């Protein structure tokens, strides 16, 4: 009997130990499963954190492409899925004066550092802007006056159909090549063409609204209604200082701008644009001996250009011709110089506002690296540009033009792109004026867009 009891006790102990062992084994397996699950969760979170940090600090490379009349970097927001998009460009140069006849000195300048900030609310509504910092600082230095910070454009776009979209805000006037696409990797030379600085006053933006789109995939158009120019800024050197830039712009006189571009063949673009509007802005001026202020003349300003570009296998050809007409230019010249109201003969030639301004340029470049490293995206382009411009092509009757404003500019240079968004440039500019001297320049520059 005692033996039987002992056997039962031993069996009970062994059975209990087995159950305990089994339970312990199950608990251990469950714990191992929980640990494995935690490890998987931590790995997923770590991978997501790495991806997020990479997107914020070093986003996935995106090929820059011009869209809707803006530069490639300025167009980044259009390719975004949704939310914030950042881009920008920068450029700097060194200029050596070959002939110091005009007293100009060699200098170097961080010309621009620009930030594009855009936000895509959804597929239809997009905000885009360009904030520009010029000449490195807003403080005066012992070498120069202050730089500037300004909003170059700020627009709200509504995309409805490929052929009908709306834009409102501070808009870039759609004229020429450079005014809309002015990022340094995408034009030749350290300096923008003089014709597209003095005659088409790039960069030029005004407050307004308009429509734009594509017709039949080969034709693009833009139509804008904006405030007009301010004739008080007109000079013998051109209408550049008549830009109001969105700064409490006078809007007594509106202006209309239209542009049409046709791409009949791949690589070939042919187009034209026009701007027209009064520039008097209902302003008045004082005249000696006249008790009441005299209204500034309406100064209707009509500016147009025709342009063409062809690109094929490393070859780049571009040409542009532009002309500006200003009504009442003689009255405006007198109005802006009340101290000279005694007679037309008292107005110096370099103070006369022209009735007509005229100019154009042609340029050519060729990428020689395509024959050496055809699989690379590096480019090396020698180029040449010829410009002719005259900001006093025709002056009002009785006035005399200043022949120093009739200018020919020859630019020969070389630019290298280690990647498509970065450029290193060097060029020689020869300026020849009909009267007076214009010093030649050697320019070295860098530019980038992102």
What is the predicted pLDDT for the residue at 49?
65
For residues 50 and 47, what is the distance between their CA atoms, to the nearest angstrom? 5
What is the predicted pLDDT for the residue at 9?
46
**Residue whose entry in the numeric block shows the structure tokens 């830039």:** 245
**Residue whose entry in the numeric block shows the structure tokens 């935690």:** 38
For residues 280 and 353, what is the distance between their CA atoms, to the nearest angstrom? 14
Q: Which of 168, 167, 171, 166 is nearest to 153 (CA)?
A: 171
For residues 400 and 394, what is the distance between their CA atoms, to the nearest angstrom? 9
Quick check: 5 pLDDT over 50? Answer: no
What is the predicted pLDDT for the residue at 438?
86
Quick check: 2 pLDDT over 80? Answer: no
What is the predicted pLDDT for the residue at 14?
42
Query: Could you give the angle at the alpha carbon of 357 between the alpha carbons of 431 and 434, nearest 5°?
Result: 35
Is the pLDDT higher at 324 or at 36? 324
Segment 229-273, tens digit of pLDDT? 999 999 999 999 999 999 999 999 999 999 999 999 999 999 999
Maximum Cα interatomic distance, the chain, rounded to a whole number of Å: 146
Contact (Cβ atoms closer than 8 angstroms) between residue 178 and residue 200: yes
Quick check: 301 pLDDT over 50? Answer: yes
Quick check: 345 pLDDT over 70? Answer: no
Quick check: 13 pLDDT over 60? Answer: no
Would you place residue 50 in the very low, low, confident or very high pLDDT band (cuts 50, 70, 90)? low
**How does 401-419 read in b/e, with b if 16+ C-beta sit within 10 Å?**
bbebbbbbbebebebebee
What is the predicted pLDDT for the residue at 42?
73
Strand partners, 270: 262, 308
Is the pLDDT higher at 340 or at 440? 440
For residues 280 and 250, what is the distance between their CA atoms, to the nearest angstrom? 10
Contact (Cβ atoms closer than 8 angstroms) between residue 167 and residue 154: no
**Residue whose entry in the numeric block shows the structure tokens 């709306």:** 166
Is the pLDDT higher at 56 or at 188? 188
Segment 381-405, tens digit of pLDDT? 999 999 999 999 999 999 999 999 9
Segment 177-217, tens digit of pLDDT? 999 999 999 999 999 999 999 999 999 999 999 999 999 88
Contact (Cβ atoms closer than 8 angstroms) between residue 241 and residue 235: yes
Mean predicted confidence (pLDDT) in 422-429: 98
Average pLDDT over all residues of the chain:
89
3-state secondary structure of 104: coil
What is the predicted pLDDT for the residue at 142?
94
Please provide residue 383's backbone torsions phi and psi, each rounded to the nearest 5 degrees.
-145, 165
Cβ-based neighbours of 299, under 8 Å, separated by 6 or more: 231, 234, 278, 279, 280, 326, 327, 328, 329, 332
Contact (Cβ atoms closer than 8 angstroms) between residue 135 and residue 147: yes
Q: Which domains does the chain have, with CATH numbers?
A: 88-110+189-449 (2.40.160.10)
Please tell me what DSSP assigns to residue 82.
S
């Amino acid at each position: 009997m005692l033996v039987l009891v002992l056997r039962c006790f031993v069996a009970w102990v062994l059975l209990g130990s087995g159950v305990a062992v089994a339970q312990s084994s199950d608990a251990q397996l469950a714990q191992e499963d929980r640990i494995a699950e935690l490890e998987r969760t931590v790995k997923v979170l770590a991978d997501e954190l790495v991806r997020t940090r990479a997107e914020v600090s070093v986003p996935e490379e995106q090929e820059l492409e011009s869209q809707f009349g803006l530069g490639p970097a300025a167009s980044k927001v259009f390719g975004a899925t949704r939310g914030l998009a950042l881009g920008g460009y920068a450029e700097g140069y060194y200029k050596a004066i070959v002939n110091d006849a005009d007293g100009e000195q060699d200098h170097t300048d961080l010309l621009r550092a620009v930030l594009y900030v855009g936000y895509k609310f959804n597929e239809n509504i997009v905000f885009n802007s360009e904030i520009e910092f010029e000449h490195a600082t807003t403080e005066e230095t012992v070498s120069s006056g202050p730089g500037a910070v300004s909003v170059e454009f700020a627009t709200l776009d509504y995309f409805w159909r490929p052929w009908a979209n709306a834009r409102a805000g501070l808009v870039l006037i759609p004229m020429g090549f450079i005014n809309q696409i002015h990022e340094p990797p995408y034009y030749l030379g350290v300096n923008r063409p003089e014709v597209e600085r003095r005659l088409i006053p790039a960069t030029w933006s005004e407050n307004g609204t308009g429509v734009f789109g594509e017709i039949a995939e080969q034709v693009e158009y833009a139509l804008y209604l904006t405030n007009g120019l301010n004739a008080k800024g007109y000079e013998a050197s051109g209408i550049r200082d008549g830009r109001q830039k969105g700064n409490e712009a006078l809007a007594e006189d509106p202006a209309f701008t239209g542009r049409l571009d046709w791409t009949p063949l791949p690589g070939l673009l042919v187009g034209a644009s026009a701007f027209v509007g009064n520039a008097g802005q209902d302003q008045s001026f004082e005249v000696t001996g006249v008790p009441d202020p005299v209204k500034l003349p309406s100064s209707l300003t009509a500016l147009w250009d025709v342009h063409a570009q062809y690109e094929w296998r490393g070859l780049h050809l571009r040409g542009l011709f532009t002309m500006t007409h200003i009504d009442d230019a003689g009255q405006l010249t007198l109005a802006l110089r009340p101290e000279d109201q005694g007679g037309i003969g008292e107005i110096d030639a370099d103070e006369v506002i022209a009735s007509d301004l005229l100019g154009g340029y042609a340029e050519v470049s060729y990428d020689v690296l395509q024959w050496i490293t055809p699989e690379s995206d590096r480019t090396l382009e020698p180029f040449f540009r010829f410009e002719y411009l005259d900001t006093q092509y025709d002056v009002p009757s009785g006035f005399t033009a200043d022949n120093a404003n009739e200018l020919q500019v020859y630019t020969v240079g070389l630019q290298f792109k280690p990647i498509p968004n970065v450029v290193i440039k060097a060029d020689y500019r020869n300026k020849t004026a009909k009267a007076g001297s214009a010093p030649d320049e050697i320019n070295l520059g860098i530019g980038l867009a992102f």
